[in-house]
Structure 1
Amino acid sequence: MKKLVVLSGAGISAESGIKTFRDYNGLWENHRIEDVASPEGFARNPQLVLDFYNARRQQLKEVEPNAAHKLLAELEDFFDVHIITQNVDDLHERGGSTKIIHLHGELTKAKSVNENSEIIDYIDDIKVGDLHPDGSQLRPHIVWFGEMVPEMDNAIDIASQADLFLVIGTSMQVYPAASVIRYVPEHCEIFVIDPNMENPNAFTKNDNHFKTSATEGMKQLKEILIKKYQ
């Protein structure tokens, strides 16, 4: 069974109603990125940061995985599918996919402010004063700007084993996540589904670029992959 490795970004979740990371004005839900997605922002105003992610966590309860998530899950019947996602939502899991690496953390998990603390499942609001079992303040299990990406080595290892590689819903502008593609083997065929990527030919051939929504691209690609590789 061929190994299909998928690098997904905000574009696949946008079709479920989750806003992409940064709006045209450089703000994220009307907040400066530095204020809600950095260790310095958390140190300055922890309640603002906790409230921001509490709202994101609550939004997850109001949205559902879309057809693109479900089509990726259906491909597990034909391929050994591994998803490397930049998204912090749980829509891949709820869509049915079973092998997922979250590069930037997960909204449905929490940890303490101490480094290397145990990551715990957490779906409720986090408030200042809420403590991790280790006795320290809880924080979202999110990789903020300036922090290490703990799952990066695992992602590179999976990418280096790929027979097929799919980029979906990401413009490949966020690093180090975008660098995963550098580790795919030479024989690996690469596909891109994204309507906004400025230079897809840097990653794949013209006929392997689907300049469409995630859902429409997945409908087309699923048929192509099954026909060509099964």
Structure 2
Amino acid sequence: MNIVVLSGAGLSAEQGLGTFRDADGLWTRYPLERVATPEGFAADPALVHDFYNARRANMREAVPGAAHEALARLSRRPGVTLVTQNVDDLLERAGAEGVIHMHGELTRALCHACGARWQAPEAMAPGDPCPACARAATRPDIVWFGEIPYRMEEIEAALARADLFVSIGTSGTVYPAAGFVELARMAGAETLELNLEASGGRFDVTREGPASRIVPAWVAEILPQ
């Protein structure tokens, strides 16, 4: 069976990594258009780096939860593709293999002058030189609003051959990820949503509850002990 799993912020929320929709999260202190768009970075790179430095520090304090560990076990099953909208590294720290980060990674840096990528330091600043071209053009390797998510051809190919598509902890409102369920349905796949509450998407089955409970339970059905 070919399985495509899409995970969103709800996968990591119980580990203290909130979303921009949280009432008391980091995003309430940093306007979205100023820290998550190319225009915001061009206008105030120091502010953008401060924001992602804070997110990186928050990520380092978090630990993988039961849902991350369950998906890590699932990732080692042949035919499984793990796609995440999350930019944290909790899946990798749980031992997951081959995770596709469609929105980039907090642990990576990108040169917007030459396109080089490298491991991000704990804190980044506008004056940091690119290790490849030496220009002060360092930015977080994050896909901002208005930019094209990474590895879309690979994701769409996996959806085209999927027997089962599973959406975990995502609101289903941000495209192109919000359209994955329809692509999977068109390919004839069964569709399952695991979420704190139903998103309203066209899923065959929805199971509601915290990721730490419902994700391990589902994985146990796929990988019986």
TM-score over 0.5 (shorter chain): yes
Give the aligned residue type for 1:192: E
- Who is 2:111 aligned against? 112
Task: Say whether the 8 Å CA contact 1:106–1:142 is kept in structure 2.
Answer: yes
Q: Is the 8 A contact 2:3 2:163 kept in 1?
A: yes
Change in Cα spacing, 1:14 to 1:217, as seen in structure 2 (3 Å) is same
What is the letter of the counterpart of residue 212 of structure 2? T
CA contact (8 A) 1:12 1:168 kept: yes
Offset of residue 33 of structure 1: 0.4
Using the aligned pairs only, state the percent identity. 41
Instruction: State how 1:167-186 maps to structure 2 within 5 Å.
Output: 167-184=167-184, 186=187
**CA positional deviation for 1:4:** 1.6
Q: Hey, what does 1:223 align to over in structure 2?
A: 220
The structure-2 alpha-carbon separation of the partners of 1:197 and 1:134, relative to structure 1 and needing over 3 Å to count, comes to farther
Which aligned pairs between 1:30-41 and structure 2 lie closer than 5 A?
A: 30-41=29-40
Which one-letter code corresponds to 2:107 in the other structure? Answer: T
Is 1:154 matched with 2:151?
Answer: no
Residue of structure 2 equivalent to 1:193? 194
Q: CA RMSD for the aligned pairs? A: 2.1
TM-score (norm 1): 0.88
Query: Quick one: distance in 1 between partners of 2:141 and 2:188?
Result: 36
- Alpha-carbon separation, structure 2, partners of 1:148 and 1:76: 25
| CA distance in structure 1 between the partners assigned to 2:128 and 2:26 by the alignment | 28
Shift of residue 195 of structure 1? 1.9
Q: What's the offset of the Cα at 1:181?
A: 2.5
Q: Which runs of structure 2 are paired with 1:15-94 in the superposition (5 Å)?
A: 15-24=14-23, 28-76=27-75, 78-94=77-93
| SS of match in other structure, 1:68 | helix
Q: 2:192, 2:85 → 1: CA distance? A: 17
- 1:61 partner SS: helix
Q: Give the Å deviation of 1:78.
A: 4.3
TM-score (ref. length: structure 2): 0.90
Once the two structures are TM-superposed, the CA of residue 197 in structure 1 deviates from its matched residue by 2.7
CA gap of 1:26–1:109, structure 2 versus 1, over 3 A, is: closer
1:210 equivalent to 2:210? Answer no
Structure 1 residues not aligned, in runs of 5+: none
> What is the rounded CA distance, in whole Å, between the counterparts of 1:26 and 1:58 in structure 2?
14
SS at match of 2:166: strand
Structure 2 residue runs without a partner (length 5+) = none
In 1, Cα distance between equivalents of 2:77 and 2:149: 30
What is the count of residue pairs matched by the alignment? 222
1:165-205 deviation per Cα after TM superposition (whole angstroms, max 9, x unaligned): 110000111111222233225432211101233424x2x22
Q: Give 2:133's aligned residue.
A: 134
